[in-house]
Amino acid sequence: MKINILEIQNIHKSFALNYAGKGQALKKEYKNVIDGLSIDISRGDVTALIGGNGAGKTTLFNLISGLLRPDDGMILFRNNEHAVECTNASPWIIASAGIGRMFQGTRIYGELTVMDHLLIQSSPLEIEWPFYNIFKDGKTRSVLREAKERIMNELGVFGGFDETIREADNIASSLSFAQQRMLSLAGLICGDYQLFLLDEPSSGLNPDSFGLVYEVIERMRDRGKTVFLIEHNMDFVREVAGICHYMSEGKVLFSGSPESILDKDEVRQSYLL
């Protein structure tokens, strides 16, 4: 029997749109982006969320992450110890509870090195790693050395991050787009999350990098991690996902295996399959 790690119940989210009609005062209307959406994500599954642009997919991820607040409904994350209601929690509380997020595109911090990024993503929330880099006492050097060794060991054991390890001392902004995407994934692995939210992980990647991301997600699943991903590449969805949800205009219209969903006429027309 499968156990839910994430329960999304009757979520609503709208955004205000201001406009001024001819000869009229400023008016306000609302656009429903998420409209009564409900999804359960089972622990240990790889679940894909698909749909056209503007369907509300990234908005849903922002609601799960605490970056947005829903107008109504509940999002409940069940980690190994207790349940966290994401609708009332700050992003850092949600992250510390065990939800890791990879955003669409890249998120690189200035001129920090690859290892600096990994240290920030893997450090306990009460530790400010940049300050440890300023105050170079003996204890600090020891803490940093042990943390770096742990990160290298974790990535080496996990597999698939040989290039990230080789680039550890280089400036992250000098990496290629694909290398930066792999760095984002590496940071999630080091962060010890239970649920991974991946926003278009294969976007913009060449076939070789595509294979690396596929292998990382496979290893996540094999280690009992849960992956919830947004994806526009249907071949990728077929390869990695066990469950697929099709979203349109803020609602989930179809749920099932990737093949059963991608075989539906509305989905095929949306993706020109």
Interval 65-82: pLDDT, tens? 999 999 999 999 998 778
**How sure is the predictor about 126, in pLDDT bands with cuts at 50, 70 and 90?**
very low
What three-state secondary structure class fits 232? Answer: coil
**How sure is the predictor about 125, in pLDDT bands with cuts at 50, 70 and 90?**
very low
**How sure is the predictor about 19, in pLDDT bands with cuts at 50, 70 and 90?**
low
Domain that holds residue 122: 4-16+31-271
pLDDT above 70 for 25: no
Distance CA 212, CA 145 (A): 28
Our count of domains for the chain comes to: 1
In the sheet where 72-78 sits, what is the strand order?
26-42, 4-20, 72-78, 83-85
Does residue 23 fall inside a structural domain? no
**How sure is the predictor about 207, in pLDDT bands with cuts at 50, 70 and 90?**
confident
Distance CA 39, CA 3 (A): 13
Q: Which residues pair with 28 in a beta bridge?
A: 18
Q: Which residues pair with 30 in a beta bridge?
A: 16
- Choose between 104 and 43: higher pLDDT: 43
Percent of the chain whose pLDDT exceeds 90: 63
Does residue 193 fall inside a structural domain? yes
What the block records as the tokens of 258 is: 């990737």
Does residue 97 fall inside a structural domain? yes
Does residue 185 fall inside a structural domain? yes
Does residue 219 fall inside a structural domain? yes
First to last CA, the chain: 34
CATH number of the domain that residue 227 is part of: 3.40.50.300
Does residue 21 fall inside a structural domain? no
**Average pLDDT for the chain:** 87
Does residue 24 fall inside a structural domain? no
Spatial CB neighbours of 97, under 8 Å, sequence gap ≥ 6: 77, 79, 84, 89
